[in-house]
Each structure stands twice: as structure tokens, then as C-alpha cells.
Structure 1
Amino acid sequence: MTLLLAGDIGGTKTILRLVETSEESPALQNIYEESYRSSDFPDLVPIVQQFLLKANVATPQKACFAIAGPVVNNTAKLTNLAWYLDSERLAQELGIASISLINDFTAVGYGIFGLAKDDIFTLQSGKQKPEAPIAVIGAGTGLGQGFLIKQGNHYQVFPSEGGHTDFAPRNELEFQLMKYLLDKHDIQRVSVERVVSGLGIVSIYQFLRDRKQSIELPEIAQIVRTWEQEAGKQEKSVDPGAAIGKAAVQKSDRLCEQTLELFVDAYGAEAGNLALKLLPYGGLYIAGGIAPKILPLIQNGNFLLNFSQKGRMRSILEEIPVYIILNSQVGLIGAALCAARL
């Protein structure tokens, strides 16, 4: 039996999971899991030490940690936390023979292969080709993008910074949104991540609110105002993106509904842009925390309409399978699978 340690390391929360595998049964068996508030610790090492002590197990042979931030040569500095992680130092201090650090969105790519049937919702069946590339896009705190290429019997995951490409407005309303963001933030360009992300949902709401698109209801207004007043703080007391999305799904606030309509349109268009660049007939997977929460709004047809609305390329995009990942722990699953391959 081989004991593996997987981790999903974020600026707010760290989740650790012990899994077990064997030659007789290569499938991963979950043994133990805990979640920790990252800011309560000065480094990852004491979290792992506390976790293993509580789990009361032998030291794992291998470990893989998915990091919310760029990973270069198995080192990483977390985006929203003053941690600097080095796989060699971690291996030495924890006594684990082999440790790998990977970007959190890379972990999502690996995690696709550990998902159960119920973890995936098919948005467009398309015509899947087993040897073709796979694309992954996911709106959450930011906008992650990546792709997978088959190499022998395995896929290799390649992250990208596609979320930082330029936002491309396609109609008068979107042009007005871009102008609003340029002026509001005094910037020279607008990345697609400023629109297609959790922060993007808030930005779209502010844009529609400020142009008096619809009446602003007090409950959502108060949440957004509180968030605006807490600008600059690392930890916020409210999550306006989640509140706006929930109100839109429940159809309880017209301004929130309009916000999500514009968001879903832009999300579908950017997914289509990624699909055109990669032709992922192996499937385009929509990850991130937002999509499962607004699934009815994505199912209504506007996402796929904007996904495939690419002129002469429409027929190509209609043949690409599109899936939504419903399991929020896909990154943790991916880290475990990556550890198994070390």
C-alpha cells in the first residue's frame, strides 16, 4: 500500500487529504481529510504536522500540493498569503520522500480523470475524439485556463494565463462596460478576468447599477456597499458575487438577473475563444466555483449561444463536447492523482 498526501493550498483555506493506493487496486481510497484557516499558520509545514498527528498515520511516501499562485521549479509564493514554499525544504522538514508543487488550476486538469459520472454535467455532447486536446476554463476568484495533451497513456496538463488576455466587447452594452471599467480603475486595458470572474460579477453589477439599468433592491445594495467600503482589506465580511448570483437564480432581483445575463454571455464567448484556439474535441471542461451555483442560468441556452457564435466557425464549435464540473474538490482529487504519479 502507498500512502499519499494531497493538498489544496489557498490564501484563505488549506485542505489536506490522505489517500491510499496499491498495485492491486490503483484507484485512490480516501483515508482522512481536514480543513484549516491558512492565515492561522506561518507556513504549510506546521499544518501538515498537525494534520498527520491528528490522523495518527505513518508518514506518507509522496505528496502533491496544489497552490493558489504561480509555481516555478517546484517553488511557489502564494498570491494572497506571505508563504514561500519550496518542495525540497518541505520534503526535508516533513520527512516525505517526494513532494511536488503544482498550480491549483493544473490540479483541476489532473482532477478531471478522477471525477465520477455524477460530478459532471454535460452541456453539449458534441463529437468526442479520444486523442484530441482537452481544454479547461474556470471562473472563480479569477479566470483560470489550461489544456491537456495526451502523451502515451497519460495526459500532461499545461496551465496558461489566458484569463489575462484582453476582454473583447461584441456589442454596445459590452463596449460601455469596458469604458466604465477603464475609467473606474484608471487603467489602459481590461482583461477578460475583470469581467468573467467573481469580481467580474460585482463589476458588472456596479456598471448596471450606476447607469440606472434597474432599481437596486436594499438587501443586495447593502451587501455591495459593505464590500465597497472594505476595499483594500484582505478578508471581506461579505461576498457580493455569491449574493448577486443567488438572487439571479432565484429571480428575486431584476438587476442581479441582468448582471448574470451579461456575465453568462461573456463567459460563453470566452469559452468559445479558448475552444477555437485549441479545438478541444477531447472536451472543454468548465471548472471553478461559479458555474455549479448558477447552473440553471448556464443551461438556459445563452452560454452555448455565445460559445458558438463565431461566424463561419459555428459548426466546428457545435461539435466540441462541453462539460461542467460539479465537484468543488476536483483540485484536491487532481493533487492526489498527481502524487500517485510521482
Structure 2
Amino acid sequence: MTLLLAGDIGGTKTILRLVEASDQPLLRTVYEATYRSGDFLDLVPMVQQFLLKADTSTPQKACFAIAGPVVKNTAKLTNLVWFLDTERLQQELGIPQISLINDFAAVGYGVLGLDKQEVLTLQPGKLNPEAPIAILGAGTGLGQGFLIKQGDNYQVFPSEGGHADFAPRTELEFQLLKYLLDKHDIQRVSVERVVSGMGIVAIYQFLRDRALHGAASGERKIAAESPEIAQVVRSWEQEAGRQEKSVDPGAVIGKAALQKSDRLCEQTMQLFVEAYGAEAGNLALKLLPYGGLYVAGGIAPKILPLIQEDRFLLNFTQKGRMRQLLEDIPVHIILNQEVGLIGAAIAAARL
């Protein structure tokens, strides 16, 4: 048995998991704990406290998934003062082999360790086990990546595709683009500004403001804002610039849309799901992932009934002459929110 340490490190919280790996492709969880990242000045004292409570021997290998770029085995977290270096971590923790990987690369590895019940298939397609696998996921931002088959294993590649340009297709989406350009006084809009948690809020603000000003809004009549949702969004807007917010308007908007209790929220999520499906289709065109396209991130499982409606797949496949190619690509939704932690454990086992 080999003892492994896996970590999913974020600006707000960090999850650490100790696992045992056998000769078979099986990882058994020994101990797990969640910490507030900001309560520690560095990862080292957190891991030391974790191992002390786990009351076990020192792991032989460790892999930490980082919410940010990893360059030459180092990483600096955006919302923390932590600067992580694998060589320093190995010395101070006494763990012989440590790896740092991007959090979405960890999702890529995690796809390889999911059970069938942890995945929901939207489109079965025509599976080719030798073809690439694509991953994307809207959450705080929009992560993208892919896996390439190499022998009996896959090599995982992260991507910054979420920062590609948002490509509007309808009159309403063109108006959304213009709204974001003017609102933020910027020269371009990335797809992440639309397909993400902050994107949900941005779409809501756009539709709200269009309705308030009585401007023409394309094909759809925009509903008026309700006082309940307005209060949540206004509170969030007043807290602009704060690292931690007291409300999550994206979650509130999504919940209201699911419950069909607020028409403006429903319209917001319709536009969001359409843009999400379109971007998934863009990624699929570039990779032709007949090994499967997996939708990860924190948003999709929470709005699953909306994703399962025809809007997502319709916009995924709506690519003109390429439609048939995209109809043959398997499309899955990842239901397990700890897929990144699973991936970090798999990556550790491969060291």
C-alpha cells in the first residue's frame, strides 16, 4: 500500500484527503478534513496539523490542485499570501514527491476516476476510446482543458480557453456584449464574463437594465425585476471589491429560475444555458472529443433540470455544416463536486 496526500486548494477553503493506493487502480480514503485557507499563513502548517490529526505515517507522495496557474513547480494563489514551491514543500513536510497542478488539470485526472453514477449523460454520441476527452466547467470562472490518450494512460492538459472572446450570435447577445463593454469600459469581453457565476449576475443586470430603460431587447420581452431578487443583487453590488460577499446572487437567481418563481431569473438562466451550450460546442469543434466532453464546475449540477432541457444541446450542436459531427460527441455532466480532489489523488499516484 502507498499512502498519498491529495489537496484541493482554493482562496477560501482547502480540502485535504489522505488515501491508500493499492496495486489495483483503487484509492481508499483514510482521512479527510476541510480548512479555511485564510486561517493559515502557508500550506505547510495546515498539512502538518492535518497529518497530526490523521495520526498516521508521512505520505510517500502528494499532489495539490491549485486555483491558479502553476509555473515551473511553483504557484502563487490569487487571494492568499501563499507562495508554493514543490522543493520547499518536500523539505518542510518530509514528503519525498510532491506535485502542484492547476485545479482544472485535476478535474481532467478526476474524470478518469469517476463512477457511472457520478456522471449524467446528456448525449450518448458515438464513443471512440482513442479520441481526446474535453472538459469545461463554469464556476467562479470558466475552466477548460483536454486529455490525450498515450498508451494505456491519458496526459492531461489545462487551457485558458475561458479567456477567449465571447462570440454573440443573436441580437440579444450582441446587446449583452455592448452592455458589458460599456459597463466595464473594456475593449473585449471574454466568454468567462458570460459563462460563469459572475456571468449569471452580469446577464441578470443586463436584462434588468434593459427592462428599466424600456429599450428594444431583441426577440424577447424582458420581465420586470422583483423586489426580493432586487434586494439580493443590490446587496452584492454594494459589496463590490470585497473579497468575501455576504450574498451569492448567482445561486439565488438560479434557484428562482428552477422554481419558476421569478420570470426575470428564468430569462437570465435561459440566456446563460444557451451561451454555455454554445461555448461547449466551440470547444468540441476545436478538439473533436469523441472520447467525451465532460461538463464540470459548481454550477451545472445545481441547475441540472435547466441543463437537461433542450437549450444546452441545441446550442451545442447548432454549428451549421458541423452539426452532425457534434451530434456524435458524447456529452456528460459531472455530478461529483469533489472530482478535482479525486484527480489530485490520481495524479499523486502517478508520480
Structure-2 residue corresponding to 1:230? 239
Out of 295, 304, 309, which is 1:286 matched to?
Answer: 295
Q: CA deviation at 1:215?
A: 1.7
1:130 aligned counterpart, secondary structure: coil
2:32 aligned counterpart, secondary structure: strand
Instruction: Report the residue type matching 1:22 in the other structure.
Output: S
Q: Work out whether 1:311 is the aligned partner of 2:320.
A: yes
Q: Work out whether 1:253 is the aligned partner of 2:270.
A: no
Structure-1 residue corresponding to 2:338? 329
Q: CA deviation at 1:309?
A: 0.3
- Once residues 46 and 21 of structure 1 are traced to their aligned partners in structure 2, the CA distance between those partners, rounded to angstroms, is 25
Structure-1 residue corresponding to 2:193? 194
Q: Which moved more, 1:259-268 or 1:207-216?
A: 207-216
Instruction: Report the residue type matching 2:242 in the other structure.
Output: K
Out of 264, 270, 279, which is 2:279 matched to?
Answer: 270
Q: Which moved more, 1:208-217 or 1:60-69?
A: 208-217
Instruction: Report the residue type matching 2:46 in the other structure.
Output: I
Gaps of at least 5 residues in structure 2 are 212-221
- CA deviation vs aligned residue, 1:217-259 (integer Å, no higher than 9, x gap): 1221111111100000111111111111111111111000000
- CA deviation vs aligned residue, 1:59-91 (integer Å, no higher than 9, x gap): 000000000000011100112222110011011
Q: Work out whether 1:37 is the aligned partner of 2:36.
A: yes
Structure-1 residue corresponding to 2:225? 216
1:203 aligned counterpart, secondary structure: helix
Structure-1 residue corresponding to 2:203? 204
Structure-2 residue corresponding to 1:8? 8
Q: Work out whether 1:28 is the aligned partner of 2:37.
A: no
- Once residues 56 and 226 of structure 2 are traced to their aligned partners in structure 1, the CA distance between those partners, rounded to angstroms, is 53
- Once residues 14 and 140 of structure 1 are traced to their aligned partners in structure 2, the CA distance between those partners, rounded to angstroms, is 16
Gaps of at least 5 residues in structure 1 are none
- Once residues 79 and 242 of structure 1 are traced to their aligned partners in structure 2, the CA distance between those partners, rounded to angstroms, is 23
Structure-2 residue corresponding to 1:165? 164
Q: Work out whether 1:75 is the aligned partner of 2:74.
A: yes
Q: Work out whether 1:155 is the aligned partner of 2:154.
A: yes
Q: Work out whether 1:130 is the aligned partner of 2:129.
A: yes
Q: Normalising by the residue count of structure 1, what TM-score does the alignment of the two structures yield?
A: 0.99
- Once residues 345 and 85 of structure 2 are traced to their aligned partners in structure 1, the CA distance between those partners, rounded to angstroms, is 19
Structure-2 residue corresponding to 1:239? 248
Q: Work out whether 1:299 is the aligned partner of 2:308.
A: yes
1:71 aligned counterpart, secondary structure: coil
- Once residues 117 and 26 of structure 1 are traced to their aligned partners in structure 2, the CA distance between those partners, rounded to angstroms, is 16
- CA deviation vs aligned residue, 1:186-243 (integer Å, no higher than 9, x gap): 0000000000000000000000000112121122111111110000011111111111
- Once residues 255 and 33 of structure 1 are traced to their aligned partners in structure 2, the CA distance between those partners, rounded to angstroms, is 41
- CA deviation vs aligned residue, 1:10-52 (integer Å, no higher than 9, x gap): 00000000000122x4300011100000011101111100100
> How many equivalent residue pairs?
341
Q: CA deviation at 1:159?
A: 0.6
1:187 aligned counterpart, secondary structure: coil
1:222 aligned counterpart, secondary structure: helix
Q: CA deviation at 1:147?
A: 0.5
- Once residues 143 and 31 of structure 2 are traced to their aligned partners in structure 1, the CA distance between those partners, rounded to angstroms, is 28
- Once residues 5 and 278 of structure 2 are traced to their aligned partners in structure 1, the CA distance between those partners, rounded to angstroms, is 38
Name the % identity. 80
Structure-1 residue corresponding to 2:218? none
2:101 aligned counterpart, secondary structure: strand
Instruction: Report the residue type matching 1:302 in the other structure.
Output: R
Instruction: Report the residue type matching 1:75 in the other structure.
Output: T
Q: Normalising by the residue count of structure 2, what TM-score does the alignment of the two structures yield?
A: 0.96
Instruction: Report the residue type matching 2:258 in the other structure.
Output: V
- Once residues 133 and 79 of structure 1 are traced to their aligned partners in structure 2, the CA distance between those partners, rounded to angstroms, is 31
